[in-house]
Chains A and B, each alone.
Chain A
Amino acid sequence: MSEIKPIESAPTEDSAEETDWAAAKAFFDSLKTEKPRPPKPRYAVTIAVSSRTLFNMVEERKIYEEEGLEKYVAHQVEHESEPLKPGAAFPFVKALMTVNTRLRALYPDSEELFDIVLMTNNHAQVGVRLINSINHYDLTIERFCMTGGKSPIGYLKAYMTNLYLSKDSEKVTEAIEEGIAAATMFMPDTETQLSDTQLRVAFDGDAVLFSDESEIIVKKHGLDTFFQHEKQFENKPLAQGPLKCFLEALGKLQRKFYAKNERMNCPIRTFLVTARSAASSGARVLKTLRSWGLEIDEALFLAGAPKGPLLQKIRPHIFFDDQMFHIEGAKELGTISAHVPYGIGQKYNRGKLIEQPEKKE
């Protein structure tokens, strides 16, 4: 699983990295605008977003699918001064920027910030419209990769990405297989008013923060066996899941606020929203988090009740879950959801095993 980045500087890293860094710093310092410069990737929490999650490109996508690549690119170039509408990841990105502002105020010289990178396999000519749109909304995104059709996976690793958001589930699956936290984003059916002072992130437990080992037991042996198993192994930590490192990265930034006495006013809040019940299987989860040295601000045990209504109250900027059933439920009630295609949950739909044809290579 993707490792958390070091806090201390690695002395063996070559001077080429330092030269590039110093040159960029000098460039940004010389700019007349108040624009904050991007943080050093080694220390930053890097979030890579695709163009279709950052902006709503549904109509443009139709042109691509119905009329082909050349017409699509020509259309984008023709309309390149028209900003695109916000997409599913837009509120999340704005919330990240809010946290950065607070961090810069408290720690003006620190590079431990969110770094937002645009990672798209769009053609570079489409990129002009994307950059214009980024400027229109005043988003602090300075780094991008426009791969002109190639897979972005190699670049995700090269940018030390902590989280990758895309509309393409194949790319997301590939990223997770490479050990990078990733999720497929879905636009909610209705719009919800979200906080503009606090980043709120909700996680499912099994197969998102934790491995799918317990879910396998539920699917194969049923709930009763599951409850027995969890009680028996209450003190044995679960293995980690694909989003564990991202929660860890959030926790690291939260502690920076606590260190400055800002716990009551912390601009990051995390939620665990799990179908587990507190009494029979909740303890193991909390003990696992404690054994990892991680905190979660609110843990909500639903004991199988639907997640949608509760998420409506929480209003997260993003909600991660491995089961499409929960994603759909959340989406219907206005929550921005992100599917984590990991673990045994992918083979099931609403509790029934999906008959899958052999995957063609």
Chain B
Amino acid sequence: MARKLLMLMHEMNERLQQESAKELLQFDVVLITTDSQQQQQSSSIISSTKHHGLEISRFCFANEEDFVESLQTNNVQLFLTSDKSEASQATQKGVLSALLDHQEASPPSDQLRIMFCEDAIIQPDTGPTPANREAIQGFAAQLGEIRRRFSLADSPLCFILVTAHGSKDSCASSLLTLRSSGISVDEAYCLAGAPRDPIMPLLQPHFTIRISFSDLEE
């Protein structure tokens, strides 16, 4: 799953380079691991990634207590993990995180699909707390800039907004908030309480950034 993601980012970097030789915006991937066993095999990890043709610019071996600091020193803007507690820890210290889920429907390999999802209820055990507008600010601006290098149709990058419970007006307001943060959403779905299980497999995101822009308490 993560491997496909890396390959997609690599392809996107190539395309960006093609568009303009002076392109400064790129996806830069850092691999971080806190698993001590894996750290002992560090050389084999590095050679393994090379073997699979994965472009990783930096490797980082940290321990569980201070891995967030490593994220921060490496200026990581988005931390992807399948570990819920790691994601939560990172978010708490101000690093935007997203969970890589194991999905039945595998996402497409020719388009990186990033989903922004807004739920009205926050379930404590489902991962990091949703990001508010400030948290995604810097990341959104740059990501949106990358998207703008490509055309509206046939883009290798696609942004999806899903609001699970709110009304159409709260979805519209999130659309506009994302737009003013630099992200021009391509696809939008307002479920307003309709069951999400039939819809999610159709959306095929590579990962989901949970957001919370509206104030739910009146």
Contact = CB atoms under 8 A, between A and B. Distances in A.
Contacts of B198: 157-159
Nearest to B178: A124
B191 A20 contact: yes
Interface in B157-188: 158, 161, 164-172, 175-176, 179, 184-188
B74 to A, nearest CB: 33
Contact of B192 (A17, A32, A69, A143): A143
Contacts of A347: none
A260 interface: no
A12 interface: no
B189 A145 contact: yes
B151 interface: yes
Nearest to B159: A124
Contacts of A5: none
A331 B44 CA distance: 72
Nearest to A157: B198
A205 interface: no
Nearest to B186: A148
A30 B190 CA distance: 18
What's the dominant secondary structure at chain A's contact region? helix
B124 interface: no
Interface string A277-316: 0000000000000000000000000000000000000000
A131 interface: yes
B158 A148 contact: yes
Interface string A34-51: 010110110000000000
A20 B187 contact: no
Interface of A: 14, 16-17, 19-21, 23-28, 30-32, 35, 37-38, 40-41, 69-70, 73, 123-125, 127-128, 131-132, 134-135, 141-150, 154-155, 157-159
Interface of B: 119-121, 151-153, 158, 161, 164-172, 175-176, 179, 184-199, 202, 216, 218
17 contacts: A20-B164, A20-B196, A23-B119, A24-B192, A26-B121, A41-B195, A125-B175, A128-B172, A128-B176, A143-B191, A144-B189, A144-B190, A148-B158, A149-B153, A155-B202, A157-B198, A158-B202
